[in-house]
Structure 1
Amino acid sequence: MPNNSIYYQQREPSPLRSIWLLMSSNPFVVVAFWALSIIFVLMLLSPLITPYDANQQFADAILQPPSWHNEGEIRFLFGTDDLGRDLLSRIIAGSVYSLGYPLVAVAFAALIGIAIGAWAGLSSGMRSSGLNHMLDVILSIPSLLLALVIIAILGPSLFNVMLAITLVLIPQFIHSVRNAIRDEIHKDYVTASKLNGCSTWYLLTRVIFPNITATVVMQLTFALSTAILDIAALGFLGLGVQAPAPEWGTMLARSLDQVYLYPWTMVLPGLALFITILAINVLGDNLRLSIQKRVEQ
């Protein structure tokens, strides 16, 4: 039976939908969203969709140009490297090392850093002040330099790289969350919640944390970009993921001597790294702005 209601009812979109509506008004955000979604799907399905094994060598197709080149072949869409390995398969398989492992490192760093930062933000006295000064000293050192020191002590391996990146990112989360909570804790709405008898857990999760979401999103974006760049830089220096693993930074280092004669061996993994980081930064920055706009409305 049709609905014959004559009364106008305005339906407000959900918080997530309202944020998406604000973000989707920017065409660059839509392009970045789909680009990152495609890369993420390729990463998840990489064991199933790679045309060849990442380390399979074709002796009859060494340094084969990409398929759009006059001398290229369609069976090697992105060409091959100096050992005859398919570049498309290696780039897709390398997304696990260059995007998947950074996501895991950022997730662990965020869980630990946000928890410690929340405790530091709600505490006061010598403990909070001492932690703040210690974080200032740690954050004055570049993240890549800290990772290099840790790798130099532990040795180059995938596990040590993940451990180093996680340890480097934890102080950044602690510092940003602590400062955000300290900025909010003396505002009127927090004071009113305290006077109403709200518990510390309720005050943190339901009152303060929703108002520092933009700060957390910004820090997550920055941390993910930093993790991807640091893993690629360590691989490029030979201190990160070791060959023959198809990590994008390691692929860049291996093709450095061939860039003038066979540029596709370096341009294609570099382009994949550039697109991934650009899409993450565009999405993260616009997500933060959309959250702020929704709060101000």
Structure 2
Amino acid sequence: MVSLKPTIRRKLQVSIVVVSLVMAGVVLAYVLHSPVVPILAAAVLYYYTYGNLGSPKLWLILVYLLVDLSKGLIVSWSLANKDPGKTPSEISILFVKDVVSLAMGYAFAKLMGSEGTEVNVLGYDTLRFLPVALLFMTSQTCALKALNYLDPGTFKLLLQVCLPTITFFSWCWLGRMYTKRQVLCVAGVFMFSILFCVAKTRQETSEVMATSAVGLIYTTVFVLSSCSGSILSEKLLKTTGDSLPVQVVHMKVCSVLIGFVAFTAHGLNQGLDGGSWNPLIHWDQRTMGAPVIHLYIPLYLLQL
């Protein structure tokens, strides 16, 4: 097996953590309107966890959670102060992300695989991931759509419904059984999510409530498609003999194929409406943050 040397792996871990701290600090500085607190907090956390006393893996998990929580903030920031008709297409953002992600996944598959490993990207093992890729593409598109109507905090809290949903799907499709305590915990999460929605709607005007209802519909589709894709991908990943990086490449190939069809259809539709075909219309420097934050998270899988 081709593996990274411990010293190189350690340097790579430290580099990713440092970049993560910078990204998390920028997000916190944007939210708090002050760079002092994020910088001090990042320095203290790094020294007392990864740099001195803590476990590197625990620190990587912590930074992963911070970056994951910042996804909604970065996407909302990329859409801030833009007219509704002049925002970048969600399809274009996801397509760019999937193309770069496929290149990264292929490189990791060759790096972490044995010598002479062949990655067949057009065989049956790849095509059977098409339903999973379609479900994940649907969920990611709905997530970007929902952030046009909901603030990042509300969207993240509503996503807690994923836990009871995937528990129910696991019981139905995989026959997985849960203890009474687990069922009570899941039921509690579901009830608190519903109570949050009720409390939020009571404080909103009719106009804001209509906008939130659209965001709630997108969030519901996201939850259903994401949980279904997770269950289906689990079944596929456990029924093949390929390594995890190779299977990720298979899934990313399907995502690129689906994204290319949607990307082309979007561009052709734009041309039929009388405008020139510019698939990356309304992109700017802030728009690049959306695909970058989605690409950054898979790097942690290599480190853990």
Higher share in helix: 2
TM-score calculated relative to the size of structure 1: 0.31
TM-score (norm 2): 0.30
The structure number with the bigger radius of gyration is 1
- Bigger relative contact order, structure 1 or 2, given CA contacts below 8 A and separation 6+? 2
